[in-house]
């Protein structure tokens, strides 16, 4: 049986079952939900959570967006997970000698009625590396905050495509969309499971068929000691800056 590092090298990904305690992950999602709940209470929304999300999106889109921004910018639980010793040790075991987060953590809450365009809940085949320009051995940690499968659009992966290197792409909704042959694999993951894959692996998200919100968070680790990354001057194409009102 191939070791985990070999699997990353050969197929470009691994899935680790029960890596995190389920309650730990559920708590992270609930803390994110609580941010929205504050605004639900403000506007007197009293339906189920998903109905309130859709209503907020339709009636107060800027408030909905700001809730997402606040979560991305500093939800403590979102930022605690990627520096858990257990996860950092695993990243090192997989070959990243000097791990460093090269983008801010991302938390997604995807649903067709929470998006203006399909790309924002059903991402096309793409490589994360093209938007990051990180080390060639950089990794993504994909953490579902709900059980995911074909019904709610679990991640789709094309094994071995990381070996193709950076592919030509067209930017679609902020994603470096690529052309890939064949059908990808769509694994089922439960709360507590994680997927770790090369930033060069072609992947996508499936369609949401069961009318539920797909919650997930994503973390990207680069290797500060990878020689190619050093010689490219540590590129960092992300820009985080305030929008100052006049």
Q: Which residue has the tokens 């051995």?
A: 137
pLDDT tens string 233-246: 999 888 777 777 76
pLDDT tens string 44-70: 999 999 999 999 999 999 999 999 999
Q: Within a 10 A sphere around the Cβ of 209, how many other Cβ atoms?
A: 12
pTM of the model: 0.94
pLDDT surpasses 70 at 1: no
């Amino acid at each position: 049986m191939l070791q985990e590092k070999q699997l990353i090298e050969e197929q470009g990904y691994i899935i680790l079952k029960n890596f995190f305690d389920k309650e730990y992950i559920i708590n992270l999602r609930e803390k994110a939900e609580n941010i929205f709940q504050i605004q639900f209470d403000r506007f007197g929304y009293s339906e189920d959570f998903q109905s309130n999300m859709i209503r907020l999106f339709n009636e107060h889109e800027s408030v909905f967006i700001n809730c997402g921004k606040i979560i991305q910018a500093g939800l403590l639980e979102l930022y605690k997970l990627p520096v858990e010793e257990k996860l950092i040790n695993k990243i090192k075991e997989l070959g990243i000698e000097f791990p460093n987060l090269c983008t801010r953590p991302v938390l997604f809450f995807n649903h067709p009625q929470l998006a203006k365009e399909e790309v924002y809940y059903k991402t096309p085949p793409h490589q994360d590396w093209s938007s990051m320009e990180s080390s060639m051995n950089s990794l993504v940690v994909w953490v579902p905050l709900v059980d995911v499968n074909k019904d709610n659009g679990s991640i789709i992966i094309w094994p071995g495509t990381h070996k193709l290197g950076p592919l030509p792409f067209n930017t679609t909704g902020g994603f470096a969309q690529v052309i890939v042959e064949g059908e990808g694999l769509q694994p089922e993951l439960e709360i507590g499971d994680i997927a770790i894959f090369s930033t060069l692996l072609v992947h996508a998200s499936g369609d949401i068929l069961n009318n539920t919100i797909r919650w997930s968070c994503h973390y990207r680790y680069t290797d500060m000691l990878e020689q190619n990354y050093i010689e490219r001057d540590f590129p960092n194409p992300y820009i985080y800056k305030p929008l100052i009102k006049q």
